[in-house]
Amino acid sequence: MSAQKTSKKTTGKSAGKSSAKAAGPAVTELKEHIVEIISDSGEGAQRCGQSLGSIAARMGNGIWTTEIIPAEIRPPARSVAGASGNRIRIGSGYITNGGDQTDLVVAFNEQVLLGRVRARELKPNCIILLESMWRTHNDINIAMAYKETYSRLVEAGYQVREVPMEQECLKLTPDAKRGKNMFALGMLCYLYSFDLQAARDQIALTFGKKAQTIIDANVVLLEAGHKWASENFDYRFCIPATPAKQAQIATNGNTALALGVMASGMELCAMYPITPATSASHYLSDVFEKVGGLVHQAEDEIAACAFAVGASYASKCTVTITSGPGYSLKQEAIGLAVMAEIPLVVVNVQRGGPSTGQPTKSEQGDLMTAIYGSHGDAPKVVMAPATIEECFYSMITARKIAESFNTVVVVLTDAMLATSQQPFARPQFNEAWLAPPIDQSAVPDGAKPYDWDATTGIARRFIPGQPGGMHTVTGLAHDRQSHVAYDPDINQEGLRARSLKIAALQKTLLPPEVVGDDKGDLLVVGWGSTKGAIEEAAAALRAEGKKVSSVHLRFLQPMQPGIKEILQRFKKVMTIETNWSDDPADEIIDETNRRYSALATLLRARYLVDVDCWTEVKGQPVKPSTIRRVLLDKLQK
Amino acid sequence: MKFSSTECLLDLYEEKLELEDYQSGVPRWCTGCGDNAILTAVQRLCRDEGLRPEKTVFVSGIGCSSRFPHYMKTYGFHGIHGRALPIAEGIRLARPDLTIFVNTGDGDCCSIGAAHWIHALRYNMNLTVFLHDNQIYGLTKKQASPTSPIGTKSNTTPRGSYLDALNPLSVALGVANASFIAQAVDWIPESLFEIVKAAYHHKGFSFVRILQRCPEWLPKLHEADMQEPDAVQLLHHENALQISPNLAKVYKNQLKHDPLDIHRAREIASSTDVVPVGILYQNREIPCYEDTRQTGILRTPDIVRKGLEAEFDKYEV
Ligand SMILES: Cc1ncc(C[n+]2csc(CCOP(=O)(O)OP(=O)(O)O)c2C)c(N)n1
Ligand code: SF4
Ligand SMILES: [Mg+2]
């Protein structure tokens, strides 16, 4: 991952004085750049950013887009906490995460920009393209605020360039607010030397459902932005692309998840709206029926989960998609599915917690709840996709496991995966993904509904409609006949069987892959959305000769085989997670009271290895540069 | 969602099933418990209607009454407290071919599961629902329930319960899309059977509140009503139930009521001097949620492939 080095190259130079070209400014070649477009919400920065990402991907660039979302639906205009938009990391090669600080930002007002500056999201000498309309605003306070911020940013070393976006757009449209984003897109296409035709095609795709006049109006603005930039900027960039050999699709994690549901053979999704999970169900509501599936919006998450249990019981393995608070509400019904051995897929798109927490922010705070949630011993499978692509395939795997082992499979993603976009190889449909037809054959004489296999704990399930299979499933302790158990030995037997199924699954899993040498000074263990950042940081350190490797876990319950052996080959082991862990530097924290992060706790308990952890719960994706610093620190300790 | 012709192809051989073919185990309810009478009526219904045991599911929550499925030799789902209805809804949406009954208690339905109850009425899915209303929490040993009459002495209200009872009939009659609302009493077997049967034949969410005796905790609650036949008012109509000569001999308090008249139904539901028994409201025109949600699309691998490819096209870069 040469990313870090490349960005240094640009920071060293003042933009625009590299190779000379006959016409137009010199084009600086970059390995990667991070671009942001921010505005008040409703001004279209999100769409501009997404389009830019898609155009870059069309050009064959690697991209990772991250949404910038204000906590409120409509924060007041021009507020520091109100930035809404998109951040796109564009690279020559494959991009696995959002990266570090921003190289170039387009801001529709200086206040939202201030929010980003204060959050230290911008590089020290970041290029800022700032809407200039505020300088001459009628409201003297606004004009003053603008001028003051402008001067301060310039003083601080940012390369601020004022752009009369509003003024230019007004020449073409009466409502500049609605078109500015396309003007900005045109500018960016010029600045990054993207093919204007690819941008036009992208607009046609984005506005595909709308009238041709709307598409045309947007194209006019796009071209105007491009032209204005060509006449006014004395620098230009190019990020050489290495187009993928295979066809690629670019989606965010929630869309990938919903596509995965469609592909998995599941036919029903029962849900109750909750951020940041909802967009998966929105999308699914739109497309699922076209393939004969449907989304049921229940009256609450308890109902959604119970509904899913009912449908799964009756043979249609169902998914229920939620986030933290909703996941808590589902616990009792999840326990029922575990007890009655009904296949069920539960997706938890994690957000900040506890309680209502940070609805739009990302966290990995629900791992323990996922594994240990629901009262009593309720063993279930817990998986965590680590990339957008894995969000897609995880649904297919989850349904298969749920139905093969008659158990609950919890899939943990998070707000960051849910809203980030990344291209991946267009999946090749495989009929084997789908569920087999419902078994309605007669049950053999004497067969029992819970005839637990002595070794694996697995029993064949009887589905309503199967003659001879009549029985009453129950959440009460039950025997092999599904009769309520009054004998203490039977409870023991049932718990054993349900637990063995987890071990049986584990026997089918492969050891995780170690990225880097398979032994060394430091091993970083992660799970979920942090994969790209961890691997980038570790690779950067390896490039400096450090003996750092990483391993990323897709299964958290059961854990893949071979992990202990891997941990033992490293002098130090630590996890990087985005959940809480006590800081040993805090005055009253010591080894007797330190609360480790979720995965570190699990690894310590399971493998008796001294696993340290570093975590951050700022709701933002952890940056590779932060991880790099943490790892260096750990190496030196 | 639709069923492909390969699914659920059963040889429905002509076989006359007897009562024993629907009976499973020995009910563990107290002697004299009204749940026994409900079980008898329902087993008779299954036999008379020739329901295939493998195509029939009884779903329940938790409570004395929710033990019901264990005593039926059909498929059964004894779920968790309050959630019988959403479980049954899931089964219904997945399987239009099954006959589904729900047994729920007054705590199960009107307290912990009240939200689901309201919404189940509104979904109007084809389910036959029996509210075993003994006006007390039986299984957990005598606590006041939302339907306990004010002043009911229980373990949590030793000096008498504080609040007026919730009237399940009035509540149900206030919900949009309610399509079948009836009341029965466990101590008039013939009428109980007729109401259960009418509920089964109604396509939609058939909600039957059954006043069910709990001799263990409230032995006196219905004593007076049982001794005085006129305390019970039998509802009849040419579009609803007719009263048999047998019943008419004993129960002289009769009221002709058109089950489409919802305003009158609400008045009847709120009577305090008599116990109305029969169909209060029935509207056969209200669509079932599962039919509204029918897509008519047969989910073949080819349809899924086409649908997916179309979506991939949208996101291809
Ligand atoms: C979540 C939950 N809370 C409480 C209980 C305990 N509980 C079991 S049954 C019941 C009430 C039963 O009353 P009702 O629904 O009227 O049924 P009945 O026993 O009277 O037939 C309660 C409170 C439980 N099983 N689950
Ligand atoms: S406690 Fe009441 S409701 Fe429960 S079985 Fe006994 S009589 Fe029936
Ligand atoms: Mg009760």
Closest-CA residue to A364 (of A630, A69, A619, A603): A619
Give the H/E segment covering residue A548. strand A548-553
Give B64 Cα–ligand 1 centroid separation in angstroms. Answer: 8
pLDDT digits (tens, 9 = 90+) for A567-602: 999 999 999 999 999 999 999 999 999 999 999 999
Joined tokens for residue A504: 């049986």
Average pLDDT, chain A: 94
Closest-CA residue to A44 (of A181, A169, A216): A181
Joined tokens for residue A214: 């709307």
pLDDT at site A7: 39
Joined tokens for residue A467: 């003659």
Joined tokens for residue A206: 């984005």
Out of B67, B106, B134, B186, give the residue to mutate to test ligand 2, the one with the largest number of ligand atoms within 8 Å of its CB: B134
> Taking residues A518-535, what's their average pLDDT?
98
Distance in angstroms (rounded) separating the CA atoms of residues B191 and B185:
8
Give A288 Cα–ligand 1 centroid separation in angstroms. Answer: 37
Could you state, in order of their start, the residue ranges of all structural domains in chain B? 20-312
B297: chain A residues, CB-CB within 8 Å: 289-292
Distance in angstroms (rounded) separating the CA atoms of residues B275 and A163:
79
> Does residue A493 sit within a domain?
no
Residue ending a domain, choose from A433, A462, A483: A433
A62 lies in the same domain as A141:
yes
Contact A399, A266 (CB under 8 A): yes
> What is the band of B298 on the pLDDT scale with cuts at 50, 70, 90?
confident
> What is the band of A604 on the pLDDT scale with cuts at 50, 70, 90?
very high
Start-end of H helices in chain B: 34-49, 84-94, 106-107, 114-123, 168-173, 189-201, 223-227, 245-250, 262-269, 289-292, 301-315
For B25-90, what is the HEC assignment?
CCCCCCCCCHHHHHHHHHHHHHHHHCCCHHHEEEEECCCCHHHHHHHECCEEEECCCCCHHHHHHH
Which ligand has the nearest atom to the CA of B133? 3
From A215-219, A470-474, B283-287, the region with the lowest mean pLDDT: A215-219
- State the smallest CA–CA distance between residue A401 and chain B in angstroms: 20
pLDDT at site A241: 94
A78 lies in the same domain as A110:
yes
pLDDT digits (tens, 9 = 90+) for A295-337: 999 999 999 999 999 999 999 999 999 999 999 999 999 999 9
> Taking residues B222-228, what's their average pLDDT?
95
Model confidence at A411: pLDDT above 70: yes
pLDDT digits (tens, 9 = 90+) for B28-58: 999 999 999 999 999 999 999 999 999 999 9
Q: State how beta strands B56-60 and B75-78 pair.
A: parallel
The answer to whether A291 contacts B303, with C-beta atoms less than 8 Å apart, is: yes
Distance in angstroms (rounded) separating the CA atoms of residues A332 and A348:
15
> Does residue A492 sit within a domain?
no
Distance in angstroms (rounded) separating the CA atoms of residues A146 and A345:
51
Q: What is the CA A590 to chain-centroid distance, rounded?
A: 33
> Does residue A464 sit within a domain?
no
Give chain A's end-to-end CA distance (angstroms, integer). Answer: 25
A267 lies in the same domain as A185:
no
Residue of B4, B53, B305 lying closest to A470 (CB–CB) = B53
pLDDT at site B95: 97
> Does residue A253 sit within a domain?
yes
Give B45 Cα–ligand 1 centroid separation in angstroms. Answer: 27
pLDDT digits (tens, 9 = 90+) for B91-142: 999 999 999 999 999 999 999 999 999 999 999 999 999 999 999 999 999 9
> Taking residues A470-494, what's their average pLDDT?
95
From A79-88, A371-380, B213-222, the region with the lowest mean pLDDT: A79-88
Task: Give the residue numbers spanning the domain of A584.
Answer: 514-636
Contact A417, A390 (CB under 8 A): no
Contact A353, A366 (CB under 8 A): yes
Peptide bond into A558 cis (omega under 30): yes
The answer to whether B304 contacts A476, with C-beta atoms less than 8 Å apart, is: no
The conformational region for residue B200 under phi > 0 = left, psi -120 to 50 = alpha, else beta, is alpha
> Does residue A507 sit within a domain?
no
- State the smallest CA–CA distance between residue A487 and chain B in angstroms: 17
> What is the band of A69 on the pLDDT scale with cuts at 50, 70, 90?
confident
The answer to whether B77 contacts A308, with C-beta atoms less than 8 Å apart, is: no
Residue A355 burial (C-beta neighbours within 10 Å; 0-12, 13-18, 19+): exposed
pLDDT digits (tens, 9 = 90+) for A109-141: 999 999 999 999 999 999 999 999 999 999 999
The answer to whether A464 contacts B1, with C-beta atoms less than 8 Å apart, is: no
Distance in angstroms (rounded) separating the CA atoms of residues A594 and A586:
10
Joined tokens for residue B113: 């599961």
Residue ending a domain, choose from A395, A415, A433: A433
Distance in angstroms (rounded) separating the CA atoms of residues B160 and B153:
4
- pTM (two decimals): 0.94
Which residue ranges have their beta carbon within 6 Å of ligand 1?
B 62-65, 81, 105-108, 132, 134, 136-140, 145
> Taking residues A252-264, what's their average pLDDT?
98
Which residue from A minimizes the CA distance to B97?
A465
pLDDT at site A6: 41
Higher pLDDT, A590 or B296: A590
Model confidence at B189: pLDDT above 60: yes
Q: What residue has token string 């329901």?
A: B51
Distance in angstroms (rounded) separating the CA atoms of residues B25 and A496:
27
Peptide bond into A276 cis (omega under 30): yes
* Candidates 3.40.50.150, 3.40.50.970, 3.30.1360.30, 3.40.50.2300; CATH matching B20-312: 3.40.50.970
Model confidence at B215: pLDDT above 80: yes
A289: chain B residues, CB-CB within 8 Å: 295, 297
User: Taking the CB of residue B305, how many other CB atoms lie within 10 A of it?
Assistant: 17
- State the smallest CA–CA distance between residue B191 and chain A in angstroms: 28
> Does residue A204 sit within a domain?
yes
User: For atom 24 of ligand 1, which residue has the closest CA?
Assistant: B81
A231 lies in the same domain as A284:
no
The answer to whether B2 contacts A292, with C-beta atoms less than 8 Å apart, is: yes
> Taking residues A216-239, what's their average pLDDT?
96
How much of chain A, in percent, has pLDDT values that exceed 70? 96
Contact B66, B18 (CB under 8 A): no
Distance in angstroms (rounded) separating the CA atoms of residues A234 and B54:
78
Residue ending a domain, choose from A210, A243, A276: A243
Average pLDDT, chain B: 95
The conformational region for residue A16 under phi > 0 = left, psi -120 to 50 = alpha, else beta, is left
Distance in angstroms (rounded) separating the CA atoms of residues A335 and A408:
9
Distance in angstroms (rounded) separating the CA atoms of residues B77 and B98:
13
Q: Is the ipTM of this complex over 0.85?
A: yes
Cα dihedral across residues A612, A617, A621, A623: positive or negative: negative
- State the smallest CA–CA distance between residue B80 and chain A in angstroms: 7
User: Taking the CB of residue A58, how many other CB atoms lie within 10 A of it?
Assistant: 24
CA angle at B174 for the pair B243 and B165, rounded to the nearest 5°? 80
Q: How many CB pairs under 8 A join A and B?
A: 210
The answer to whether B316 contacts A426, with C-beta atoms less than 8 Å apart, is: yes
The answer to whether A437 contacts B75, with C-beta atoms less than 8 Å apart, is: no
- Helices A196-206 and A180-191 cross at an angle (nearest 10°) of 150
CATH number at residue A30: 3.40.920.10
Which residue from A minimizes the CA distance to B123?
A298
A294 lies in the same domain as A373:
yes
Closest-CA residue to B265 (of B280, B279, B276): B280
pLDDT at site B20: 97
> Does residue A439 sit within a domain?
no
> What is the band of A175 on the pLDDT scale with cuts at 50, 70, 90?
confident
A523 lies in the same domain as A407:
no
- State the smallest CA–CA distance between residue B154 and chain A in angstroms: 26
CATH number at residue A297: 3.40.50.970
pLDDT at site B13: 54
A11 lies in the same domain as A145:
yes
> Does residue A629 sit within a domain?
yes
B103: chain A residues, CB-CB within 8 Å: none
> What is the band of A436 on the pLDDT scale with cuts at 50, 70, 90?
confident
Contact B59, B69 (CB under 8 A): yes
Contact B93, A268 (CB under 8 A): yes
How much of chain A, in percent, has pLDDT values that exceed 90? 88
The answer to whether B78 contacts A476, with C-beta atoms less than 8 Å apart, is: yes
For A567-618, what is the HEC assignment?
HHCEEEEEEEECCCCCCCCCCCCCCCCCCCCHHHHHHHHHHCCCEEEEECCC
A216 lies in the same domain as A312:
no
> Taking residues A169-182, what's their average pLDDT?
89
pLDDT at site A99: 96
Distance in angstroms (rounded) separating the CA atoms of residues A320 and A174:
45
Number of structural domains (chain A) is 3
Contact A103, A123 (CB under 8 A): yes
Closest-CA residue to A466 (of B21, B53, B13): B53
A186 lies in the same domain as A285:
no
Which residue ranges have their beta carbon within 6 Å of ligand 2?
B 29-30, 33, 35, 64, 134, 138, 214-217
